[in-house]
Amino acid sequence: DAMVIQNPRYQVTQFGKPVTLSCSQTLNHNVMYWYQQKSSQAPKLLFHYYDKDFNNEADTPDNFQSRRPNTSFCFLDIRSPGLGDAAMYLCATSRDLVGQTRNQPQHFGDGTRLSIL
Amino acid sequence: SQKIEQNSEALNIQEGKTATLTCNYTNYSPAYLQWYRQDPGRGPVFLLLIRENEKEKRKERLKVTFDTTLKQSLFHITASQPADSATYLCALQRDNYGQNFVFGPGTRLSVLP
């Protein structure tokens, strides 16, 4: 089945130690998103790629970076994780950007839960 | 400032009743609004999209309304079942030029047998 896969499901890292989360998709969608979701809160968009074009949200900390080496894969790098970065990180895709096609559901992976020691 | 609110953090209803969840927004002008379901430890799953010129959208036991004057969307689940228990998130397009959706905090629905 076509889907969005995130690895690992659970990640533990130490304070200040760089960590990379990965996402792959078999939907061949143009857009890939990274969200941060803390307990009982809304998913918060960090950034998105439209094809190779990277778009950072204005309030995303510099500590968060992303790479998209090809259509199928996207990575979230946290350069120096702090305790406040412990959260669920969700990857999502959509076929196109919102303004381009009227019905743009996002397809989410099941997330990576990041813990900081 | 811009804000999205969903009626309550948690809603308990009896099996068989209709669940009604609300999504209110301030200082947004979305052309589209979406509803998602999220189960614990899982990613959100898309349910329905409604456009600003549509008053109502239905899918099986689900119904969504969108009132741009009231700046509100209502999400109804009729004949609710325990399997409908989950968190329901509304997401709206930030504005006519916005490329992305912004999510509300969600309402955790529990359907009691």
pLDDT band, residue A96 (cuts 50/70/90) = confident
A111 touches B at CB < 8 Å: yes
pLDDT in tens, B43-81: 999 999 998 889 899 999 999 999 999 999 999 999 999
Q: What was the pLDDT predicted at A101?
A: 58
pLDDT band, residue B103 (cuts 50/70/90) = very high
A39 touches B at CB < 8 Å: no
A43 touches B at CB < 8 Å: yes
Whole-number Å distance between alpha carbons of B46 and B73: 16
Backbone angles phi, psi at B78, to 5 degrees: -90, 155
Our measurement of the distance from residue A48's CA atom to the centroid of its chain's CA atoms, rounded to an integer in Å, reads: 8
Of the candidates B43, B46, B101, the beta carbon closest to that of A110 is on B43
pLDDT band, residue A95 (cuts 50/70/90) = confident
Q: Coil, strand, or helix at residue A83? A: helix
Short-list B75, B76, B80, CA closest to B90: B75
Q: Find chain A residues with C-beta within 8 A of B34's C-beta.
A: 105-106
pLDDT band, residue B12 (cuts 50/70/90) = very high
A103 touches B at CB < 8 Å: yes
Residue of A nearest to B89 (CA): A42
Mean pLDDT of B8-19: 92
Q: Find chain A residues with C-beta within 8 A of B44's C-beta.
A: 43, 90, 106, 108
Mean pLDDT of A7-32: 95
Lowest mean pLDDT among A6-10, A94-98, A108-112, B68-72: A94-98
Q: What was the pLDDT predicted at B99?
A: 62
Of the candidates B9, B44, B97, the beta carbon closest to that of A108 is on B44
B93 touches A at CB < 8 Å: yes
Q: Say what percent of chain A tops pLDDT 90.
A: 81
- B24 pairs with which residues across the strands? B5, B72
B19 touches A at CB < 8 Å: no
Q: Say what percent of chain B tops pLDDT 90.
A: 73
pLDDT at A99 over 70: no
Of the candidates A41, A42, A105, the beta carbon closest to that of B46 is on A105
Q: Let me know: does B74 contact B57? Beta carbons within 8 Å.
A: no
Interface size A-B, in CB pairs within 8 Å, comes to 62
pLDDT at A2 over 70: no
Mean pLDDT of A90-99: 84
A112 touches B at CB < 8 Å: no
Q: What was the pLDDT predicted at B52?
A: 86
- B35 pairs with which residues across the strands? B48, B90
For A11, A75, A98, B12, B64, the CA distances from B94, given in Å and listed in that order, are 32, 25, 10, 30, 19
pLDDT at A100 over 80: no
pLDDT at B98 over 60: no
Q: What was the pLDDT predicted at A104?
A: 76
Q: What is the mean pLDDT of chain B?
A: 91
Residue type for position B78? T
